Chains A and B, each alone.
Chain A
Amino acid sequence: MFESKAGILGIAGIGFFLFAFISNVWTPILMYKDVTEKTAEEVVNYRVMAHFGDLNRRYPEAFQEAFGEPTEENCAAALRLGRQLYIGEGCWHCHSQFVRPVSNESKRWGPVSTAEEYQNELQRPVMFGTRRVGPDLSHEAGRRSNDWHAVHFFDPPLVSPDSPMPKYTWFFDGAPNKPNKRGLAIITYLQWLGTSLDSYPYYEQVNADAEEDY
């Protein structure tokens, strides 16, 4: 059995793989199967709508061309596009989206992440991330203004001098006050992250004097 073709293919190849699949994948699926997965339309709320409307007021021409009126339906479309850009542009390789219950993370980033936060269309595939070069973004919404994000995407060191983040000039038509459809969408997405929480917006509780200590 241990050296036969049937043993290796059947037990090691398929059997052990299935055992691992059932225990490690099927178990969480069964546990969360009753938590409904919301659609992008269902996760639009008044908080992200406030930012969506603000984008419309700040950059009316680009906004109207990209999304038309700032309706909830158009906001859902912007969220979808924003999430696709978040993945396609590789944001998730330098920014995580989960707050752990250790290492003072809940002071810096807000409440520890719960399963409900991830049960929606915009977390499929889930954007946990595995590396933090830049900050965690799971509760990013509302912390910074739309124009801050616009300038930051255009040239990060302008507002965050030490940042190694690349420029995303292609989210703009030449200037930081002219975001295009992609720029508007990704800002909308960022201003949605964490809007479902009671603690919105969560501001970092960091040791502001620490900069001089280091």
Chain B
Amino acid sequence: MTSDVKPLLPRHDDLVNERLVAWYFLAALTFLTVSMLAGLLVALQLIRANPLDGVELLSPARWRMVHTNAIAYGFLANAFLGCLHWAIPRLTLRPVASVALSYFIFSAWQFVVVCTAAGIILGPSFQAQDWVAELASQLHISMSLGAQGVEWGETPFWIDPVAQLGLLLVAINFMTPIVRQRGPMYVSLWYFMAAFVWTFLTYGMGNFMPEYAVGGVSGGAVGGLFIHDLVGLFVTPLGWGLMYYFVPIMLKRPIWSHGLSLVGFWGLAFFYPLQGIHHFLYTPIPMFLQYGAIISTIAVELVVTTVVINFIGTIWGDGEVLKKNLPIRWFYCGMIYYFITCFQCALQVTLTFQKLIHFTDWVVGHAHLVMFGVFSMWIFGIMTYLFPRLIGRDWHSRKLCEIHFWFSAVGVFIMFLDLGLAGVFQGYYWASLAPWDVSVMGSQSFWVVRAFAGLMMFAGTLCFLVNLYLTWRGPVRELNPDIDVAPALA
């Protein structure tokens, strides 16, 4: 009799495959470490203190591409997939399409990331062999074994179809519970649904069109759109979707304004894809397209501000929580940085600013604040919240968690300020027509500071990893399966 009575809500364990979430997080942290080491190598090369200069397989230029790709596809993508395996079943009250498919996607994605790294590092070493040229002339493709010549899309051409298929499977796996869900959809699900479509389309556009379909300046327009959409249509919607999920849960209060949530989502959806060309201003791409990209960029920054306002409205009156709740502090610090990068973006996208700062370290500083200061910090917040739940143990040390936060938040902000300033100097050195060396020597002190800022971020991450290891070794604590999430930090 009791067996006929269906429980009101499905059990958490039937919805979420916690082991898989943990595996995704561990994979993400592994690639994060690789990426940071690669970043350190490049930083040392720039200050001419690279002890490994001249070793082919440790070439800083190849590892520079490993650095960005490991962050985008190794760290962010893995961490997001882990978070989605937690959030989507709990939001829809339905499990993902298939557990077997989930594990297959997990392995396939690690395969893609490892192949990307291997291709970038080993590819150029084999490029000069005769069979490559022969295959290229037979198949009428360029056969660049190593990186593909699209920024953020360096995934070698031979792995792109696998990655594209993987993204399709990801979409199927997660869209199944969303489509089956009835009734109104929560904001997070809007972002997730759109992101699955956008990521698939963006990846296909950026990795196949410039390689096979369009060359020259039009190919540049595709490349610009790809760089931009990868951040705007893959990372950003997943990041905000997760914020809309985790912030109200942890604050135990609803999002401040549903109307602003709508404005934020639809504004992003409309304006974000229109901006790719702003990465290549003053190129031979038609000027009216450049103006269009600039205007929609400024428009999206206004839209983004409404999202930040919405989240500030949500926490308003409860600011004390930032002191004791570490995940919330990660989230809101990331949002402040998000606002700074967006405000910066609305300025730097103008032709006036571009004249000075394009091609300089200003842009590099901007990229670090976006990718690390915003999205990585949100992920660290989610990991700080979920790991105790996933491994059934309280954090070994609150202090190490705090150090992780402060070293990351301060480190990336120092890097951002330092590189931004470096960019202004470089821009003026170049315009002054001083010999090129002058701009290089002038950058030296900024690059030294940048290396230390990077080391600070790396030290924070190491604290997190050590803390995670000690927690995993520590005593198990039984958690209430339905609601209890390790209270130590939340």
Contacts and interface: CB of A to CB of B under 8 A. Distances in A.
A118 B280 CA distance: 14
Interface stretch (B45-53, B449-457, B481-489): B45-53
B210 A21 contact: no
Nearest to A11: B269
Interface string B320-345: 00000000000000000000000000
Interface centre among B123, B358, B364 (most CB of A within 10 A): B358
12 contacts: A5-B185, A25-B225, A66-B128, A80-B133, A84-B143, A89-B62, A117-B284, A123-B216, A125-B215, A128-B280, A207-B435, A214-B434
Interface string B20-51: 00000000000000000000000001111010
A92 B217 CA distance: 16
Nearest to A181: B128
A58 B428 CA distance: 40
Main SS at interface, chain B: helix
B54 A166 contact: yes
Contacts of A96: 359
Interface of B: 45-48, 50, 53-54, 56, 59-62, 64-65, 120, 123-125, 127-128, 133, 136, 142-151, 178-179, 184-185, 190, 193-194, 196-198, 201-202, 205, 209-211, 214-223, 225, 227, 233, 262, 265-266, 269-270, 273-274, 276-277, 279-280, 282-286, 289, 292-293, 355-356, 358-361, 363-364, 427, 429-438, 440-442, 447
Given A90-B61, A166-B45, A12 B269 contact: yes
Contacts of B223: 125-126, 128
Given A113-B284, A166-B59, A206-B435, A28 B124 contact: no
A29 B218 contact: yes
B148 A103 contact: no
Interface in A86-103: 87-94, 96, 98, 100-103
Contacts of A114: 284
A13 B193 contact: yes
B46 A87 contact: no
A24 B429 CA distance: 33
A42 to B, nearest CB: 13
Contact of A118 (B125, B215, B438): B215
Nearest to B46: A164
Given A16-B273, A118-B220, A90 B65 contact: yes
Nearest to B262: A2
A123 B215 CA distance: 6
A167 to B, nearest CB: 4
B221 to A, nearest CB: 5
Contacts of B201: 14, 17
Contacts of B45: 164, 166
Given A24-B274, A120-B215, A213-B434, A93 B269 contact: no
Contacts of B205: 21, 25
A119 interface: yes
Nearest to A136: B359
A39 to B, nearest CB: 11
Contact of A9 (B149, B197, B435): B197
Contacts of A169: 54, 56
A168 B289 CA distance: 39
A29 B435 contact: no
Contacts of A47: none
Contacts of B440: 133, 162-164
Given A118-B215, A123-B216, A166-B60, A81 B133 contact: yes
Contacts of A113: 283-284
B267 to A, nearest CB: 11
B159 to A, nearest CB: 14
Interface residues of A, number: 93
Given A24-B221, A28-B285, A90-B65, A17 B216 contact: no
Nearest to A185: B128
Interface in A20-66: 20-21, 23-25, 27-29, 31-32, 35, 37, 66
A9 B430 CA distance: 46
Given A126-B215, A132-B359, 19 more contacts: A14-B201, A24-B289, A25-B214, A28-B289, A88-B62, A89-B124, A91-B61, A104-B432, A115-B216, A118-B219, A119-B215, A125-B150, A125-B215, A126-B210, A132-B430, A167-B54, A206-B435, A206-B436, A207-B434
Contact of A210 (B222, B359, B360, B435): B435
Interface string A138-170: 000000000000000000010011111011111
B50 A166 contact: yes
Contacts of B53: 166-167
Contacts of B431: 103-104
B433 A100 contact: no
Q: Sorted from nearest, which 7 A-B pairs have the closest CB atoms?
A: A90-B61, A88-B146, A124-B215, A20-B273, A88-B124, A13-B197, A210-B434
Contact of A8 (B128, B144, B193, B442): B193
A205 interface: yes
Contacts of B124: 84-85, 88-89, 182
A117 B196 CA distance: 37
Contact of B216 (A3, A118, A170): A118
A61 B270 CA distance: 59
